[in-house]
């Protein structure tokens, strides 16, 4: 008789079905480790973008019950939506209207499932005076966010996303978008664009910014769907057209990739080896150091109430 199956410990915060689109035929993809500033040996999606025990339910008979529920009730349906969306976008110039709600769900779940989202919950619970260990309370609240259509936080995010226009950028030949361990990019500076015979071009005056809230009048979101396609959520734009699949220039791809790397937690993934240019890397390092300093300054001093 087969032995009892061990509970799953690697709980992915970026789903494997998503990352597999960046893999080579051998099932591995290239990964760049930001803290080490180096390209890693090719990795499998199962080996990255997970946190051990992240979805463990305290006190449950099976500690990985939520991990299994998430896989069957969220990831499996979203994987089908993701593949259907990619197939449609590669065959057409327009995003079918009936796929918009599904794409919003894919984006919302990815935004909410990250560890940094759970960290945002902790000061709110502390301010509200929620009793018990803060980590356990934040875990319980966070898992409720992801538990289904009755989640008020998920519905709030979906309602906010529905207020945005949505376009899709298609990478040019021999160019590809990167993914990361925090793949939805939330920016607050409006992209300044000018006409180009090849579509549109971002100017260099746009700055990186941290998530200011989806209600911010200049909020934008970028979500690489595959190496050749990126979803772009925006409120107004002189050249981005809702529901259109638009050709991106090489500079557009570089612009998105730079921000993908800047906002990653630790890892960036690519279909091809990742080698950021010197000037790009210097901007990314300066931004991440500034964010780290701001986060450190925001932490309460030891012993403070």
pTM (two decimals): 0.86
The C-alpha angle with vertex 29 and arms to 90 and 42, in degrees rounded to 5, equals: 165
**Domain that residue 179 falls in:** 165-295
Instruction: Name the pLDDT band for 211 (thresholds 50, 70, 90).
Output: very low
Whose tokens are 């993809």? That residue is: 29
Domain end: 122, 137, 161, which one? 161
Average pLDDT over residues 26-39: 96
Q: Indicate whether 198 and 261 sit together in one domain.
A: yes
Q: Does 64 map to a domain?
A: yes
Tokens 């509970």 found at: 7
pLDDT tens per residue, range 215-244: 777 788 999 999 999 999 998 877 788 989
| Mean pLDDT, all residues of the chain | 84
Q: Are residues 61 and 180 in the same domain?
A: no
Structure tokens at 254: 């570089």
Q: Are residues 72 and 104 in the same domain?
A: yes
pLDDT of 201 above 60: no
Of 161, 189, 207, which marks where a domain is finished?
A: 161
Residue 1 lies in a domain: no
User: Per the domain annotation, does 10 fall within a domain?
Assistant: no
Domain shared by 153 and 174, yes or no: no
Among the residue ranges 57-71, 73-87, 183-197, 286-300, the one predicted with the least confidence is 183-197
Q: What gap in Å lies between CA 140 and CA 282, rounded to an integer?
A: 39
Q: How many domains does the chain have?
A: 2
For the ranges 63-72, 119-128, 144-153, 178-187, the lowest mean pLDDT is seen at 144-153
Q: Are residues 104 and 210 in the same domain?
A: no
- Structural domain includes residue 63: yes
Give the integer Cα–Cα distance in Å for 120 and 124: 7
Q: Both 278 and 173 in a single domain?
A: yes
At which of 108, 140, 161 does a domain end? 161
């Amino acid at each position: 008789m087969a032995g009892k199956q061990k509970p799953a410990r690697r709980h992915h915060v970026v789903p494997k079905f998503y990352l597999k689109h960046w893999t080579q035929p051998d099932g591995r993809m290239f990964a760049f480790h930001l803290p080490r500033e180096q390209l890693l040996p090719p990795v499998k999606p199962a080996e990255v973008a997970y946190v051990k025990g992240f979805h463990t339910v305290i006190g449950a008979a099976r500690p990985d019950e939520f991990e299994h529920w998430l896989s069957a009730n969220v990831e499996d349906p979203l994987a089908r939506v993701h593949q259907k969306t990619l197939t449609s976008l590669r065959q057409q110039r327009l995003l079918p209207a009936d796929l918009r709600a599904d794409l919003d769900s894919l984006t919302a779940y990815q935004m909410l499932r990250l560890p940094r989202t759970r960290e945002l919950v902790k000061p709110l619970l502390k301010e509200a005076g929620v009793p018990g260990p803060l980590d356990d309370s934040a875990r319980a609240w966070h898992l409720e966010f992801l538990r289904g259509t009755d989640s008020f936080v998920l519905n709030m995010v979906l309602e906010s996303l529905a207020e945005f226009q949505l376009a899709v950028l298609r990478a040019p030949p021999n160019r590809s978008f990167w993914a990361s361990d925090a793949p939805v990019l939330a920016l607050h500076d409006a992209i300044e664009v000018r006409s180009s015979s090849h579509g549109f071009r971002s100017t260099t005056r746009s700055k990186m910014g941290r998530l200011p809230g989806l209600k911010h009048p200049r909020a934008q979101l970028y979500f690489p769907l595959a190496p050749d396609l990126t979803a772009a959520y925006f409120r107004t734009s002189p050249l981005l057209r809702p529901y259109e699949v638009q050709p991106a220039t090489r500079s557009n791809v570089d612009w998105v990739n730079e921000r993908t790397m800047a906002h990653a937690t630790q890892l960036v993934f690519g279909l091809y080896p990742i080698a950021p240019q010197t000037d790009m890397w210097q901007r990314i390092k300066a931004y991440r150091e500034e964010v780290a300093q701001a986060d450190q300054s925001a932490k309460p001093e030891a012993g403070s109430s």
